[in-house]
Amino acid sequence: MFLKNCFRIILLALTACICFSCDKILPEQKENKEIVVPDISIQGKSYEKTGFIYVNGGTVKGKETFATDTIPVFMVENGNEESCHVLQKSTFEPKTTTIVQSFLLGKYEVTQEFYEDVLNTAADSETGINPAPSYFVYDISENERQNLRPVERVSWFDTVYFCNRLSRLQNLDCVYEMSLIDVNSETHSIESAIVRADLSKNGYRLPTEVEWEYACRGGNPKSDEWLYTYSGSNEMDSVAWHCTEGNYNIPTDTGDVTRIGKTHEVGLKSPNSLGFYDMTGNVQEWCHTDEEGNAVARGGSWYRVEGEGTVNFRAVLEKQTVNIGCGFRLCRVPYQDEF
């Protein structure tokens, strides 16, 4: 009897310890912890605002979060303003279930300095591609740094070419295989190429639309933030550089003034809960191709008004498109045993 009672006491004690441990461990396991990867260093030079955030994947059950609507907007391509139509539609469509794998995504949009140095550092730099394509190299706002403004006027082809360059510099496997590259002699931007991608490789690449929107919405479908209009807020001013209704002009290469605005140093507005900056403002961001092979730009930009900068703002563009409101941020899968 004594032995039986001792056994029961020990069993109860062990059960209590296990329960106590579960209370301590399980919340940490379920918590969506983001790990910030240090800024990138190339040949001994460290670049500010090039760090990454590790985003835990998850399962997303699509629901009607925003109305699907096609709206007329303006874009600036090769210095000329043209009208186009974009689709406001969530990647996570109603009645669908999407499994998002964990990934690394840049905290910031790629900056002018970083873009230029990567293209100039690689051994095969004599390609005719302009390493400094940005229109906004003037009129910097007070207390901002020119080199940390986002790069723009880059085609989709330019961005994947950049990703390969950076991957080689970091001794990573290139995600993209590019051939028959043709550079426009006027814009000095890649206007055509055959591109094949292997997203399982550990090199740098563009985020998929699923990854981009998952991060933009905060990475937690059960949170209030998931339903915010903009990345990290329902108020655009706090998280995005954008154009206001009454201030609707921009400068173009042709000298025409149709809206007023400009890019700003990345990372000056408030981030979303995961720590990502400028996902719905400053410049739109190229993403990996959709299922039909189209190039897509997500998020708002400095010349978009509020209705054009939502988390589900989606523009399908030609891959050779070059405009002063479109840049990109980097993505990659974690290295083996990195986390």
Q: Where are the beta strands (DSSP E) in the chain?
A: 36-37, 41-42, 45-46, 52-55, 58-61, 69-77, 80-88, 97-100, 103-106, 176-183, 190-197, 284-287, 295-298, 313-317, 326-327, 331-332
Q: Is 251 helix (H, G, I), strand (E, B) or coil?
A: strand
Q: Cβ distance 52 to 35 under 8 Å?
A: no
What pLDDT band is residue 82 in, cutting at 50, 70 and 90?
very low
Low-confidence winner among 98-112, 139-153, 177-191, 291-305 (lowest mean pLDDT): 291-305
**pLDDT(157) > 80:** yes
**pLDDT(282) > 80:** yes
Query: How many Cβ atoms sit within 10 Å of the Cβ of residue 215?
Result: 25
**pLDDT(101) > 60:** yes
**pLDDT(255) > 60:** no
Helix segments in the chain, DSSP class H? 2-30, 112-121, 156-169, 209-216, 236-239
Say what the pLDDT of residue 254 is: 52
Q: Give domain 32-332's CATH number out of 3.40.50.720, 3.40.50.11540, 3.90.1580.10, 3.30.420.40.
A: 3.90.1580.10
**pLDDT(228) > 60:** yes
Phi, psi (deg, nearest 5) at residue 66: -140, 150
Rg (CA), the chain: 23
336 Cβ contact partners less than 8 Å away, ≥ 6 residues apart: 202
Q: Cβ distance 173 to 167 under 8 Å?
A: yes
Q: Cβ distance 109 to 267 under 8 Å?
A: no
DSSP symbol at 146? G
Q: Furthest-apart CA pair in the chain: how many Å?
A: 97
Say what the pLDDT of residue 71 is: 45
Residue 295's alpha-carbon distances to 28, 269, 290, 298, 320, in angstroms, are 38, 27, 7, 10, 9
Q: Cβ distance 173 to 202 under 8 Å?
A: yes
What pLDDT band is residue 61 in, cutting at 50, 70 and 90?
confident
Q: To the nearest 5 percent, what fractions of the chain are helix, strand and coil? A: 20, 25, 55
Say what the pLDDT of residue 231 is: 95
Domain boundaries, the chain: 32-332
pTM for this prediction? 0.82
Q: Cβ distance 155 to 295 under 8 Å?
A: no
Residue 169's alpha-carbon distances to 105, 151, 172, in angstroms, are 18, 19, 8
